[in-house]
Chain A
Amino acid sequence: MTDLSKIRNFSIIAHIDHGKSTLADRLLEECDAVDRRQMEQQMLDSMELERERGITIKATAVQLTYTADDGDTYALNLIDTPGHVDFNYEVSRSLAACEGAVLVVDASQGVEAQTLANTYLAIDAGLEVLPVINKIDLPSARPKEVKAEVEDIIGIPAEDSPEISAKNGINIHSVLEMIVKDVPAPVGDRSAPLQALIFDSQYDSYRGVIVYVRIKQGTVCAGQEIKMMATGAAYRVVEVGTMSPMGLIPKDALGAGEVGYITASIKTVADTQVGDTITTAENPATEALPGYRPVQPMVYSGVYPADGAKYQDLREALEKLKLNDASMSYELESSIALGFGFRCGFLGLLHMEIIQERLEREYNLDLITTAPNVVYRITKNDGQVLMVDNPLDYPDPMEIQLAEEPFVKISLIAPQEYVGNMMDLATSRRGEFKDMVYLDANRVELHYEMPLNEIIYDFFDALKSRTRGYGSLDYELIGYRPSRLVKLDILLNGDVVDALSFILFADNAYPRARKICEKLKENIPRAQFEIPVQAAIGGKIIARETIKALRKDVLAKCYGGDITRKKKLLEKQKEGKKRMRTFGTVSVPSEAFMAVLKLDED
């Protein structure tokens, strides 16, 4: 066990793209935690998807061994955090395991919305926040001004903050020295009853659940009987140890102040809830550590296997994924059109896309996802209040006394030349202007209140494109407000396809209905007969397209040499058909569902 005074537990927080993962890589290199030849870009972002998208999705922890200028050797536990606005929840989980946070700020872009949001999370968690000015190698870098911004806007001292370039490895040493000097050493009593906070977990098919913990009090070692305080589940510890970038390193014991893992042949995923406290059976702690505020999914959508027979596979995949991502929720639902599937809750649209991609890649599933939906509050005439996260549950308009939708307060930050563009965007999304603040001579922060529904689709992308990538976004829920809502139904060949229905603001219904009909027309293959594609509110048709009948699908020549080829062709066509869902007489490929989701992309 490492002496408490020689341990530093810290996170790196930043706005997306300010260089958090690159800095993490450099710290790993500097401490020789990884062989430079084996160094892959963004070591901590080990998920294939994370590396491809250049973002961090999930928290990961790693231990570095660093010999400081004072001659002592320190164990630095770095707990990585995601930067996207969707993943605030993951950030707060990571922060609870730390004493300090390195705040990375881009030397040319300065303070952005997530810089603020994440800093406040860290301050709320009682962490020491240490600013670092990154990307000083850029021609547009203005470190002095950015330091002043940090002091003015956030209100933390930044005068002596290291000016670094993570990309080029400049001044990395000073960051490590700062961590040793300014992050407080953890406190705790290693002989006290065990209190270990679960901040993450992962399923391994050989070892069962691997639980990542921060030991707050006491000591844990192999062979001990442990108990999960919230679920009451008990296990015998098989192994404890620390995480290195190259894998898990077993240790004899983990003591207060340390960050590490525990395995205990845990097969039941639900037994290890992130945020729960682990204690020992022999000498249990009297109370659990404060857990995390349970996360509220903001966006819901139906997730179905493209092949109805794969329902069980999807269920198992979701169970395992939930272990890695506590912020997702799911429950069984069934649709007339799609059969059995799950209603899943997500933190935002990026989160939803990522979960879907992980299910498809890591679990080899083909999925159909229905349109994302926020949670509406509907008061019926009889006074009953419904929380509707699924269009299928939307009551008859005649029964509705009051319909309300969730509103958020959004903060937009960008250079002032984009203020007009941002205002146009916010107004077009039913945004109500609140105020405008000049952060400095050039940059402006706008506040709006708008329906959550308006930002879950593509707001972030639209903002980026209208501000040439400079705009940043943060939002928080501010409650429900009355709204005029309608449920839009889509009919194919005269039959309602329940899985394509969704709820929206009445004034948006016409343009959206037209677009959906167009998209479906593009994505549904022609059939032997004409297919009307219609959008309706109640019984009233408000948009229509027609898919012309297919008249020619034939191989004119089929002689000796063509037979094998024709067989392959028909085989392919047959496989394609198996992947389509049939609604009445119309076959719809899963791409059509996706196309409806990406309505605003062109």
Chain B
Amino acid sequence: MPFLSRNNKTPLGIYIHVPFCRSKCQYCDFYSVTCKEDRVLDGYLDAVCSHIQEAGMLAPGYLVDTVYFGGGTPSFFGAEGLAAILSVVRKSFDVAPSAEITFEANPDSVSDRLLRRLRSEGFNRVSLGVQCDDDVILKKIGRPHNYEQAVNAVKRIRKAGFRNLSVDLMYGLPGQSLQDWEKTLKNVLALSPEHISCYGLKVEEGTPLYAYQQFYNLADDDTQADMYLSAVEILQSFGYRQYEISNFCRRGNISRHNLKYWTGGEYLGFGPDASSDFAGRRFAIVRDLQDYINGIREGGQVLREVQEVPNRERAGEYLMMRLRLSSGLDPKEYESKFLLPFGPLESVLNRFREQKLAQKTYDGRWHLTPEGFLLSNTIISDLLVIQEKCKPLSGKRR
């Protein structure tokens, strides 16, 4: 993991939630609004900037090594706004020169002008929502673009000088067959992005898709499993290493920002519905744009669910998050960090190893296989049952 140390400061990730979209996609349950009135956009910009300034004062011992603009659709919000927020981040925090600075974009809102502007502001990574190569499916799921726009967007992104491009894809979409999915992968591989995320469609409660799911021809679990394993195999053969359940990259271009979520790094989130894990506490921001704007403007409460996470719970999170990664977990690190025995967990993992769901590396680390990733909830909850019964290691063993 890159660990930039400027005077031994602690690394920190910054996440900015930009909650604006041209239209809502059928499957999406992230918080966003489709309104684009200047009054609201300006209100958001003011709020998020003062919020960042305020927080910057509380984090003098931190060095920001990743900044991530997610959404919503940050590209739809526009270059000026994103640039303004980034400059406030730079003013308020100590941002490392080599920081990874990502923005999410949709193919219909990446003009050459926007890309050039953001590149010159120091953005160095783009995460492009492509989803699939079939225009009929794209339309069904409510995407505001077609595949040709996506191909053109990639060309423009390259032309603007971005050397780190990630493409988001989805499988298990309405009417999508295994063959369709493999074709999408091969077409997208021809665009040679540095990074690919593949997400199985999950029908979330409260989304339009949830209400109408019986009218869509959705893949069952077994088909989704086949699609997943096929993606792992195809991407592998094209030189993309799987480093997380849904994430693949070439030549070490992992998402440094996202890695913080999986390795217990600290991060601060700004904007409605953004989450933070900072100074031992986990908290989230209200899931309403107007409440957020008002709260910041009037100095009111914008946080919800502030939780002190005790060490014992962190031990559970460690299993939960580390087993998402191909690098897996390190028993020695686990024992010394949480003072809990690893032995009981290892016997569970051994059982999964026999079923070819987990593997132990030569240096003693444990990680799941692609088949194991597919069953990770089952595996992790089995481990949690056992972990709950573990007594802390006695002082002697330290």
Q: Which residues does A use to contact B, with CB under 8 Å? A: 528-529, 550-561, 563-564, 566-567, 569-571, 573-574, 576-578
Q: Taking A552-B221, A552-B228, A558-B261 as contacts, is the C-beta distance between A567 and B320 under 8 angstroms?
A: yes
Asked if B377 contacts A563 (CB within 8 A), the reply is: no
Contacts of B305 in A (CB 8 A): 564
Interface residues of B in 323-376 (CB under 8 A from A): 324, 352, 355, 357, 371, 373-376
| Residue in B245, B267, B355, B375 whose beta carbon sits within 8 Å of that of A556 in the complex | B245
Name B's A-contacting residues (CB within 8 A). 15, 199-200, 202, 221-222, 224-225, 228, 245-246, 258, 261-262, 267, 269, 273-277, 282, 284, 305, 307, 313, 316-317, 320-321, 324, 352, 355, 357, 371, 373-378, 380-382, 384-385, 388
**Are B377 and A553 closer than 8 Å at their CB atoms?**
yes
A529 vs B269: C-alpha distance in the bound complex, in angstroms? 41
Of B222, B324, B380, the residue contacting A552 (CB under 8 A) is B222
Residues B382 and A577 in contact, CB atoms below 8 Å apart: yes
Number of A-B contacts (CB under 8 A): 102
Smallest CB separation, B357 vs chain A (Å): 6
Pairwise interchain contact A554-B385, C-beta atoms closer than 8 A: no
Whether the Cβ atoms of A577 and B381 lie closer than 8 Å is yes
Known contacts A528-B357, A571-B384; A558 and B324 CB within 8 A of each other: yes
15 pairs, A vs B, C-beta closer than 8 Å: A550-B221, A552-B222, A552-B374, A553-B378, A554-B373, A554-B375, A556-B200, A556-B245, A558-B261, A558-B324, A561-B269, A564-B305, A567-B316, A571-B384, A577-B382
**Complex-state Cα separation, A576 to B385, whole angstroms:** 10
Q: How far is the CA of A43 from the CA of B23 in the complex (A)?
A: 60
Q: Within 8 Å CB of A528, what residues of B?
A: 352, 355, 357, 375, 378
Min CB distance A601 to B, Å, is 27
Tell whether, in the assembled complex, residue B324 and residue A570 are in contact, meaning their CB atoms are under 8 Å apart.
no
Contact call B275/A561, Cβ cutoff below 8 A: yes
A574-B385, A577-B385 as given contacts; A563 in contact with B321, CB under 8 Å:
yes
In angstroms, Cα B245 to Cα A558, docked, is: 9
Interchain CB contact under 8 A, B245 and A554? yes
**Once bound together, how far apart are the Cα atoms of A273 and B89, in whole Å?**
80
A560 contacts B269, CB within 8 Å?
yes
**Would you call B385 and A560 a contact (CB within 8 A)?**
no
* Extra 13 A-B pairs, beta carbons < 8 Å, given A554-B200, A554-B373: A528-B355, A551-B374, A553-B374, A554-B377, A555-B377, A560-B261, A560-B275, A561-B273, A563-B317, A563-B321, A564-B275, A567-B317, A570-B380
User: Most chain-B Cβ atoms within 10 A of its Cβ — which of A552, A553, A559, A567?
Assistant: A552
Give chain B residues whose Cβ lies under 8 Å from the Cβ of A569: 377
A537 to B160 alpha-carbon distance, docked (Å): 75
Please list the 5 inter-chain residue pairs (A to B) with the smallest Cβ-Cβ separation, ordered nearest first. Answer: A573-B381, A551-B225, A560-B275, A552-B221, A561-B275
Contacts of A529 in B (CB 8 A): 355
Nearest CB in chain B: distance from A552 CB, A: 4
Judge whether B199 and A560 touch: CB under 8 Å: no
Give the chain A neighbours of B357 by CB distance below 8 A: 528
Interface of B is mostly: helix
Shortest Cβ distance from residue B119 to the other chain A in the assembled complex, whole angstroms: 24
- On chain A, the residues within 8 Å of B258 by CB distance are 559
A453 and B273 alpha carbons, distance in the complex (Å): 61
Q: Which residues of A contact B261 (CB under 8 A)?
A: 558-560, 563
- Chain A residues within 8 Å of B221, by CB: 550-552
How distant is B377 from chain A, measured CB to nearest CB, in Å? 4
Shortest Cβ distance from A587 into B: residue:
B382
Known: A556-B199, A567-B320. A574 touches B384 (CB 8 A): yes
> Which B residues are in CB contact (< 8 Å) with A554?
200, 245, 373-377
Minimum CB–CB distance for A227 against chain B, Å: 51
Q: How far is the CB of B196 from chain A (nearest CB, A)?
A: 13
| Distance from B162 Cβ to chain A, minimum over Cβ atoms (Å) | 21
Provide the residues of chain B in CB contact with A557, threshold 8 Å.
199, 202, 246
CA distance in complex: A223, B305 (Å): 60
Closest chain A residue to B246 by CB distance?
A556
When chains A and B are docked, how far (Å) is the Cα of A551 from the Cα of B374? 7
Q: Judging by beta carbons under 8 Å apart, are A551 and B381 in contact? A: no
Cα-based distance from A529 to B356 in the complex (angstroms) = 11
A7 to B377, CA, bound (A): 69
CB-nearest residue of chain B to A572: B381
Contacts of A576 in B (CB 8 A): 381
The reply to whether A560 and B267 form a contact with Cβ atoms under 8 Å apart is yes
The answer for the CA separation of A539 and B202 in the assembled complex, in Å, is: 45
Which residues of the other chain, A, contact B228 by a CB distance below 8 angstroms?
552
Measured between beta carbons, the chain B residues less than 8 angstroms from A559 are 258, 261
When A570-B381, A574-B388, A577-B385 are in contact, do A560 and B276 touch as well, CB less than 8 Å? yes
Q: How far apart sit A578 and B382, CA to CA, in the bound complex (Å)? A: 9
Name the B residues within 8 Å of A553 (CB-CB). 374-378
Residues of B within 8 Å of A564, CB to CB, are 275, 282, 284, 305, 307
CB distance from A147 to the nearest CB of B (A): 59
Determine whether the beta carbon of A566 is less than 8 Å from that of B320: yes
Nearest-CB residue, chain B, relative to A573: B381
| A566 CB contacts on chain B under 8 angstroms | 320
Contact of B202 among A551, A556, A563 (CB under 8 A): A556
Chain A residues near B15: list those with CB within 8 A: 560
Q: State A571–B317 Cα separation when bound (angstroms).
A: 11
| Distance, CA A278 to CA B284, complexed state (A) | 68
Instruction: Check B245 against A560 for contact (C-beta < 8 Å).
Output: no
- B375, A552: Cβ atoms under 8 Å? yes
A580, closest chain B residue (CB): B385
CB closest chain-B residue, reference A527: B378
Across the interface, A573 reaches (CB within 8 A) one of B225, B274, B313, B377, namely: B377
Chain A residues contacting B202 (CB-CB under 8 Å) are 555-557
Chain A contacts for B200, CB-based, 8 A: 552, 554, 556
**Residues of B close to A556: CB separation below 8 A:** 199-200, 202, 245-246
Contacts of A551 in B (CB 8 A): 221-222, 225, 371, 374-375
Residue in B284, B374, B377, B380 whose beta carbon sits within 8 Å of that of A561 in the complex: B284
Contact of B282 among A552, A563, A577, A578 (CB under 8 A): A563
CA distance A576 to B377 in the complex (A): 13
Chain A: CB-nearest residue to B384? A574
Nearest A residue to B285 via CB reads A561
A410 CB to closest chain B CB, in angstroms? 47
Among residues of B, the one whose C-beta sits closest to the C-beta of A576 is B381
For B273, what are the chain A residues with a Cβ–Cβ distance below 8 Å?
A: 561
Q: Which residues of A contact B225 (CB under 8 A)?
A: 551-552
B56 CB to closest chain A CB (Å) equals 19
- Expressed in whole angstroms, the minimum distance between the Cβ of A583 and any Cβ of chain B is 15
- B58 CB to nearest A CB, Å: 18
CA distance A573 to B199 in the complex (A): 22
The CA-CA distance from A569 to B205 in the complex, in Å, is: 14
Complex contacts, B376 vs chain A, CB 8 Å: 553-555
Indicate if the CB atoms of B284 and A552 lie closer than 8 Å: no
Which one of A550, A558, A560 lies within 8 Å of B277 (CB-CB)? A560
A560, closest chain B residue (CB): B275
A529, A560, A563, A573 interface centre (most CB from chain B within 10 Å) = A560
Q: What residues on A are CB-neighbors of B262 within 8 Å? A: 558
| Residue in A560, A561, A570 whose CB lies within 8 Å of B320 | A570
A556 to B221 alpha-carbon distance, docked (Å): 13
Minimal beta-carbon separation of B320 from chain A (angstroms): 6
- Inter-chain CA distance A563–B322, complex, in Å, is 12
A176 to B99, CA, bound (A): 92
CA distance A294 to B382 in the complex (A): 49
Across the interface, name the chain B residue whose C-beta is closest to A555: B377
